[in-house]
Amino acid sequence: MNSRRRFLKNSGSALLGGLVASNYASAFFKPTAMHPVGLQLFTLFGAMDKDASGTLKQVAAIGYKELESAFSFKGGFYGMKPKEFAAMTKDLGLSWQSHHVLGTPFKMPPGGIRMPGADTTKKFNPPPMRTLKENMQELVDEVAEGGAHYMVCASIALGTADEIKEAIVILSKSGEACKKAGLTLCYHNHTHEFETVEGKIPYHELLTQVSPDLLKMELDLGWATNAGADPVDLFSKHPGRFPLWHVKDMTKDTKQPTEVGAGYIDFKRIFEHADASGMKHFFVEQDGAPKPFENIAASYKALTKIMS
């Protein structure tokens, strides 16, 4: 009897100890599903205009789950109406989260720009593009109709103090319109937003002069880092203001976009501060990708390792 009691006591202690150990382990080592990886479709600019459905099938096959749409030569959403594009993405198991628009009329930079997948032998002459300054409500209504959750101002004139003031007004009004339509307005940066303009840094002005209720940020991690800004420092100073990210790597020598994992950006460190930033979605983007489908496949593979 004593042996049986001793066995039961020891077994009970072992079971209790096991349960405690199990609970302790689960508290600190809870398995978490990997965040869905998104893609900014500007990376596949030429392919999307040639064959949107076929292109998105390849995107889904790689493993991407979320999308951010952008400018198209065909107009609208790669030649489609908002609901038509939304239905296509849904049928392919993709979630359309966000759409890029311009803030003010586009100004061609010196030397032009590279459109991914476009014919580089031809001069790039962009067709007329709608802007928040001139077509705000129309743009807001279309994105809302399609069911996306975010509208992102991809760029806006910030070269003078007067342009900065105008940008603050445009983004404030656009933020109000988005809020009424059930959307969140974000601003996407390049590098010039971090350069001093008449004694002011445009990015700081947008962050502090436009209400957080009306404007959030889509932080392009690559361009921001190239400009000398530290994403983690921005998250600390403006917590919760960055629901969207562009995961863009940069070459160490030329500071040009490259595949995730092939550049110098410390994404692991940045992702460790995702909660502080308020990140909800992120999108891989590689401007001017030389082999777009190979490039996004490599970026997806590298990114999943970073987040594992």
Give me the CATH topology for the region 38-307. Answer: TIM Barrel (3.20.20)
Residue whose pair of structure tokens reads 């530290």 in the numeric block: 230
Q: What pTM value is reported for the model?
A: 0.86
Residue 266 exposed, middle or buried by CB count within 10 Å (0-12, 13-18, 19+) = middle
Give the pLDDT band (50/70/90) at residue 308: confident
CA-based nearest residue to 49, from 64, 81, 71: 71
pLDDT tens digit sequence for 223-266: 999 999 999 999 999 999 999 999 999 999 999 999 999 999 99
Residue-level pLDDT at 10? 44
Distance CA 200, CA 167 (A): 14
User: Judging by beta carbons within 10 Å of its beta carbon (0-12, 13-18, 19+), is residue 197 exposed, middle or buried?
Assistant: middle
Question: From CA 303, how far away is CA 308, in angstroms rounded?
Answer: 9
Computed over every residue of the chain, the mean pLDDT equals 88
What's the pLDDT tens digit per position in 107-138? 655 555 555 555 555 555 666 789 999 999 99
Reported residue count of the chain is 308
* Residue ranges of domains in the chain: 38-307
Whether the per-residue pLDDT at 191 is higher than 80: the answer is yes
Q: Is residue 37's pLDDT more than 60?
A: yes
